[in-house]
Structure 1
Amino acid sequence: MYSDSHLKRSWVEVDLRQIIDNYKIYKRNVKSCKIMAVVKADAYGHGSVQIANALQLEGVSLFAVSNIEEAIELRTSGIKGEILILGYTPTECAEKLVKNNITQTLLDESYARMMADKGIKAQFAIDTGMNRIGLDADNPEYCEEIIRKYSEQYELNGIFTHLCVSDTDSEECKCFTKQQIEKFEDIAKRVENLKLPYVHCMNSAGGLFYSTKSNIGGIARLGIILYGLKPDYTNELPDGIKPALKWKSVIAMLKKIHVGETIGYGRTYIAEHDMKIATVPTGYADGYRRELSNTGRVEINGSVAPIVGRVCMDQIMIDVTGIDANCGDEVTLIGDFYTADDIAQDIGTIGYEIVCGISKRVPRIYK
């Protein structure tokens, strides 16, 4: 897999048992009878092939990805179930879609026209208010007309929409989400005689908070919660759902510095007292965010150590003054003490971006 030298620089540990536990707990907490596992973006940085194979063994047969490359990777790795591409595929790839038995999202009427009569399995996206892709649900008669028209030119097996604020608890967002669901239900009922097997509007948060409010489809697309992270930092997840990923590195060097000395690029940290500093061989080229300069923290031997100075391309420096720390000791960058959601909250982004941003040069190890 990887040499020990790679593993002892910077690596990610993924707990497949926790992934399965998260899936089972989520499934118990939603009304939907089927789960579509969203494994796009390399399963949000966790490893799509390994995650999909583990879920397939648990009986999951519906998967969603972003693009044709991700879909083919799953299919050639032994994933047998339905694989839905949620986004755009170039028209010249139509033959690959058919050959690999992959379902393509139809983005709008124009795209459906370009991809028609090629023997493709497909689902129509319905735009209920996100204004990203899909037929405009504010014109349900038009949506019905187009869906019926192209059901004769595709192996059409579903329709879906995306709830854009189902993770937000404000009254305004609750009202908007309910309106989205109602618009989608209207279109689903208009074409119900087509007997499309995959009709779905629930994402991770939607399934958790709104599955009792809709009888349409019985499918939830399980994305970020599968990996133990929150759609929104304020969300409360069911007991037992936990992050499945830990990111680790090691201490490469220890150094004593004196009061008044500076650390790192730009000399942004000035020592206010004598300190012991450790260098850790992970940086922003590995996906460790530069915004964590002088802000983030890591864990060493049960103690928390702050980052001092700017995050470098390949290294960070941490303050280990008063900590029992030695060269070669393991350093936890993301873990129970400081999750991807916590990091995201500190730097003004979302947990999705933190885990998706861990680069390919950081090997994933599966437990």
Structure 2
Amino acid sequence: MKILLVSMNSIHFRRWSDQLRDAGHEVFWFDILDQGYAPSMSWMTQITGWKKGFLRKRGRSFLKNKLPKLYNALVHKYDNLVEDAFAKALQEIQPDLVAHSFALYVSCTPILSVMNKNDVPWIYSSWGSDLFYYKNDPKFLKDIKAVLPRVNYMFVDCKRDHHIANKLGFNGSHLGVFPGGGGFDLELIENYKIPFENRNIIAVKGNHNRSGRALQVLKALEQLGEHIDHLEVIVFGATNSLILDFETDQIKNLTIKGLLNHDQILELFGESLIYIGNSNSDGMPNTLLEAICARVFPIQSNPGGATAEIIEHGKNGLLIEDCEDVLQIKEIIAKAINNTELLQQAVDFNAEQLVPHLERAFIKSNVLEAYSKIKC
């Protein structure tokens, strides 16, 4: 099958698309943001370099920063439109399938006018906040309702988003619920794991932005004070100054780190006792799943019931039902740090019941089976 992938370049896209490598398909990638050739995906044919109509080699950043009005005028006049570039790619490639369009507002809406003029099958891969968050914005809701009826197939990372899609106009075939970046390399994760009884780190996902609510977690930990003096709190992936500059005398062993590479995250998880992620709109967070694979006890927000699809509160993790409620978050964390038996039983349950179904080869096999069911 000749497959044309449409996506921005991200680690999740690279991991997902790699499932198609050596699977017998001819794979193309239309770089929707034209971010440039990606050597790590050299195995597929890449459509890049389509956008720039002026200063193609150098000088654009300088012009954008120093003369933004002139820059915008030149962009409007000379740069190529995504619809035209995609239509050209579609015509030249003649794919059997347009696939993995994610996120909706990045990789679906901009090519909708072209897809409406063609009957080539189209897969949309729901991503994080695509539907749950953006359905509440009238402008984005209009786009969602325009895109979903044209989409023929759909991958989701949680059942919640499949239900939302059905309500908002999707009437195609559901291909399954899979992690947004494919499965996880359990052998690699194993290299970083230390015995659970030797762990004393609370790892906190440091996102604090439109959806991330790391500050509420830090405030909750602050209120726990001396009750967590025996633990080390490591915040990772912090980019917001509210987190980076957070100071307190109440968390004795606090370390705040910016963005980490993948190996550094795995090393952190392999040494962590508890993982905490807090957001107002995540689907099924890949970071949460990776922490579970590393035998970390999970505490995670539950927007729209997504996380409850794999975590039963009080059994194999704990759920934050109100991501803004510092007192509730404090009480949930306290329940975990004071219950060694709960922690051990939870990670044992997850290792036996969840982790085998998150393994990369297992997910890949199921994803490729889903592709084989597509009628082209």
Report the TM-score when normalising by structure 2.
Answer: 0.32
Structure with greater proportional helix content: 2
Structure with greater proportional strand content: 1
> Which has the higher relative contact order, 1 or 2, with Cα contacts under 8 A spaced 6 or more apart?
1
